Amino acid sequence: MTGNRSLPGLTCPDPGAGPHSGSSSPQPRRSRAETRLEDQTGRRPPPCSYPDGFPADAAPVGPITEANERGGSASKIGLTAIDAALRRAFPNMPETRRRALIAEMARRGTDLAEPGDPGFPILEEMPGCPRLLFLEGGRPDVLRAPRVAVVGTRAASVHGLADAWELGAFLGAAGVSVVSGLAIGIDGAAHHGALQAAEAAGPGATAGPIGVVATGLDVVYPRRHRALFERVRRYGVLVGEQPFGVRPDRGRFPVRNRIIAALADVVVVVEATLIGGSRITAERALDYGRPVLAMPGSRRNPAAAGCNALLADGAQPLLDPSDVLVALGLTPAGSRLWSTAPAAANRPPASPAATAVLKALAGEPAHPDQLVSRTGLDPGQVALAVEELVALGIAKRDRGFVWPI
């Protein structure tokens, strides 16, 4: 295989045509997200993974041995084909590093796919398409299911985390794979919800979590999500364009987000600030022709400002999980699953003080001092009322505020 390998309608720059190759071919059209990324970081993302060949900060993998050259998913397409693919993607990678990478792929059971391969999950034309993708997971078939990206801020509110978790669980139960970046906040909550659905479905599950990383697949970031990484690997698939050993770097995460947008059939933003990776993902999705849904939030919530801005720019509002299925074309609009009022089944009645505090919250978080002012109760009475609401599952304390749930 030489030159570009493309499916019909897929255009990917020649991996050898980097800035040092002497090629005079025109560069791909710059997208809105590329322009935004350059404005934020001071540098333009590459048209493909590595125009200069190989990331210099990649840590070495283990030595190549006869034992770890055998078996594993890397052997499915043959060591010669893998070596050729790595040469195209990383022309400056030293031979010893490349051979060690192939051996580590065989040991870990890592798959590799290029544009044009049957297993390459991005079929449409996109600017800056990855030269290749590394894939690991117990259920690679989840890439064949309808795919929805659920993204948002790391500094999510209690409501945002709950909404992301519920949305991930709903989509997983509906046979939709959830794509996200495994970050703290909205990403992790959505994947936890999708994992619950995948675990409940058992071995016959057709959908599951798809985690897209900005590091090598052997590098867990953030570290606190190590258990989440392993669960996603077991019940879904991990995807990345970086070779083993590549560490976290701030500039790689916005570039990674283009893969999240390209993998998704629909992109949902649950909570987002005005500037951040979620906005970049949404803008990339619009560039690729993906529908973008955003969950509206209070103007008092900084974590909702990005979603409200997307809605003002024409994104579709997400008012219920079934809205995503409508966007996917899987079901007509029907009964709503999210109610504006909390369920009260089998819940004992709240005391008058707790009822007054709940009314004073008015659906939004409030500081205990604000509740004292709004209810006329003394601080001790408010504290007891909050404890009661928490025990009833109606409220939650977080970051010094009381949140109705």
Distance CA(330)–CA(176), nearest Å, equals 10
Task: Return per-residue pLDDT of the chain as tens, 405 residues.
Answer: 333 332 223 333 333 333 333 333 334 444 444 443 344 444 443 333 343 345 555 555 443 333 333 234 444 457 788 999 999 999 999 999 999 999 999 999 999 999 988 889 998 778 888 999 999 999 999 999 999 999 999 999 988 999 999 999 999 999 999 999 999 999 999 999 999 999 999 888 899 999 999 999 999 999 999 999 999 999 999 999 999 999 999 999 999 999 999 999 999 999 999 988 899 999 999 999 999 999 999 888 888 999 999 999 999 999 999 999 999 988 654 444 554 444 555 678 889 898 899 888 878 888 899 899 899 999 889 899 999 898 888 888 887 888 888
Distance of CA 18 to the CA centre of its chain: 28
* pTM of the entire predicted model: 0.72
Number of residues that make up the chain: 405
How much is the pLDDT for 301? Answer: 87
How much is the pLDDT for 254? Answer: 92
| Cis omega (within 30 of 0) for bond into 222 | yes
Q: Which two tokens stand for residue 111?
A: 């798959």
How much is the pLDDT for 61? Answer: 47
* 397, amino acid identity: R
Would you kindly state where each structural domain of the chain is located, as residue ranges?
A: 140-328, 352-404
How much is the pLDDT for 77? Answer: 58
Buried b or exposed e, range 160-179, using 16+ CB within 10 angstroms = bbbbbbbbbbbbbbbebbbb
How much is the pLDDT for 55? Answer: 58
Please identify, in words, the CATH class of the domain defined by 352-404.
mainly alpha
What is the phi/psi pair of residue 132, to 5°?
-160, 165
pLDDT in tens, 196-214: 999 999 888 899 999 999 9
How much is the pLDDT for 23? Answer: 36
How much is the pLDDT for 221? Answer: 95
- Identify the CATH number of the domain defined by range 140-328: 3.40.50.450
How much is the pLDDT for 71? Answer: 34
Contacting residues for 211 by C-beta, under 8 A, at least 6 apart: 180, 181, 182, 191, 229, 232, 233, 236, 237, 238, 239
How much is the pLDDT for 337? Answer: 55
Distance of CA 243 to the CA centre of its chain: 19
Q: Give the 3-state secondary structure of the chain.
A: CCCCCCCCCCCCCCCCCCCCCCCCCCCCCCCHHHHHHHHHHCCCCCCCCCCCCCCCCCCCCCCCCCHHHCCCHHHHCCHHHHHHHHHHHCCCCCHHHHHHHHHHHHHHCCEEECCCCCCCCCCCCCCCCCCCEEEECCCHHHHHCCEEEEECCCCCCHHHHHHHHHHHHHHHHCCCEEEECCCCCHHHHHHHHHHHHHHHHHHHCCCCEEEECCCECCCCCCHHHHHHHHHHHHHCEEEECECCCCCCCCCHHHHHHHHHHHHCCEEEECCCCCCCHHHHHHHHHHHCCCCEEECCCCCCCHHHHHHHHHHHCCCEECCCCHHHHHHHCCCCCCCCCCCCCCCCCCCCCCCHHHHHHHHHHCCCCECHHHHHHHHCCCHHHHHHHHHHHHHCCCEEEECCEEEEC
How much is the pLDDT for 56? Answer: 53
How much is the pLDDT for 57? Answer: 54
